[in-house]
């Protein structure tokens, strides 16, 4: 399917009419979003104006049938996640030529690109609450798809587009991770629902704090410490790829106060930080390859995560439980 990057007024009015959100006054495309098409809406109902986000899903959510129950569970737990507006017929989606279309109220706030320790701590608290709420609900999600097999397949797909040194770094890192992830004691680590993509461009802050977390389309079942590692790689990393100790500890300490991190999870945190860095370096290489083939896709710089992989390979971020409970 061709991506929907714009909708004409008649299409939008028809879609908006399927939801009980009032009359469409204005619309404009959102600039964010690599995998889906997003549009901001302003509507009026009973003399009151409201703001919404309309999303056209260009590809199925990894969470599959669990996507809607996941968001409903998080909302019921008081988490700042998108609230799916049901259609007039009670369905969570409308249809646009075979694509699912969802509408949610628009959050206030904006993205931060140089987060403070307080903002990083807020992200840690959100993740802990997410993990606890979804565990209590007993949700069943598909396994995290970017496993070692996926890493190998995507590396081979990119092989002819990479120089020897870059391809060697991809394969050597995957082999190192294979040895670490195959350890029998790793299998005992706590698992559950992951957001799996908690980057700065998926979180909003306003003057009161964290106001919204977006994009649950990568949600999956996996190791909880991996979710923290993915967040740390984006929220706590310096320009050279190194984890900033103060921000990393702010993230982990805030999380730990709500969902205690086990000693074993701390031992494996550097492994999962490397795993997350390799997974996102690989995924960005794949998207960049699509752009080279002429597809109109927005890309993020793969070199950013290549630097993080290089730093994790050269330096182990040491942690022990005493760091999480400073006296």
Q: What is the pLDDT of residue 280?
A: 97
- Print burial letters for 276-289: b (CB count within 10 Å at least 16), e (below 16): bbbbbbbbbbbbbb
Q: What is the pLDDT of residue 4?
A: 52
Q: What is the pLDDT along the chain (327 residues), one digit of tens a residue?
A: 444 556 778 888 999 999 999 999 999 888 655 678 889 999 999 999 999 999 999 888 899 999 999 999 999 999 999 999 999 999 999 999 889 999 999 999 999 999 999 999 999 999 999 999 999 998 999 999 999 999 999 999 988 888 999 999 999 999 999 999 999 999 999 999 999 999 999 999 999 999 999 999 999 999 999 999 999 999 999 989 999 999 999 999 999 999 999 999 999 999 999 999 999 999 999 988 876 665 555 668 899 999 999 999 999 888 888 889 865
Residue 77 structure tokens: 């737990």
Closest by CA to 104, choosing from 6, 219, 214, is 214
CA distances to 118, 202, 234 from 114, rounded to whole Å, are: 12, 14, 10
Q: What angle do CA 139, 152, 276 make, to 5 degrees?
A: 50
List 95's β-bridge partners, or say none. 100
Check: CB of residue 302 under 8 Å from CB of residue 281: yes
Characterise 60 by phi-psi region: left (phi > 0), alpha (psi -120 to 50), beta (else). beta
pLDDT in tens, 195-235: 999 999 999 999 999 999 999 999 999 999 999 999 999 99
Alpha-carbon span 22 to 43, nearest angstrom: 6
Q: What is the pLDDT of residue 2?
A: 45
Q: What is the pLDDT of residue 94?
A: 95
């Amino acid at each position: 399917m061709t991506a929907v990057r714009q909708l004409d007024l008649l299409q939008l009015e028809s879609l908006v009419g399927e939801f009980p959100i009032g009359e469409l006054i204005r619309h404009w495309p959102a600039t964010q979003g690599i995998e889906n098409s997003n549009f901001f809406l302003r509507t009026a109902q009973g003399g009151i104006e409201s703001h919404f986000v309309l999303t056209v899903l260009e590809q199925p959510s990894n969470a599959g049938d669990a996507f809607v129950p996941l968001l409903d569970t998080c909302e019921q737990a008081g988490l700042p996640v998108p609230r799916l507006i049901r259609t007039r017929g009670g369905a969570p989606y409308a249809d646009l030529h075979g694509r699912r279309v969802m509408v949610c109220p628009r959050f206030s706030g904006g993205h931060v690109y140089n987060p403070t320790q307080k903002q990083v701590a807020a992200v840690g608290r959100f993740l802990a609450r997410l993990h606890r709420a979804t565990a209590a609900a007993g949700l069943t999600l598909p396994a995290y798809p970017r496993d070692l097999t996926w890493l190998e397949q995507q590396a081979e797909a990119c092989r002819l587009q990479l120089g020897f040194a870059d391809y060697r770094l991809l394969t050597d890192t995957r082999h190192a991770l294979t040895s670490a992830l195959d350890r029998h004691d790793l299998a005992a680590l706590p698992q559950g629902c992951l957001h799996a993509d908690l980057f700065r461009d998926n979180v909003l802050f306003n003057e009161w704090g964290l106001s919204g977390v977006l994009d649950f389309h990568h949600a999956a079942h996996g190791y909880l410490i991996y979710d923290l590692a993915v967040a740390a790689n984006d929220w706590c990393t310096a320009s050279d790829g190194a984890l900033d100790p103060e921000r990393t500890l702010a993230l982990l300490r805030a999380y730990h106060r709500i969902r205690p991190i086990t000693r074993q999870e701390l031992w494996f945190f550097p492994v999962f930080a490397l795993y997350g860095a390799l997974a996102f370096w690989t995924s960005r290489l794949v998207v960049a390859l699509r752009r080279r083939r002429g597809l109109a896709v927005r890309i993020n710089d793969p070199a950013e995560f290549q630097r993080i992989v290089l730093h994790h390979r050269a330096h182990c971020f040491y942690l022990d439980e005493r760091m999480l409970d400073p006296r």
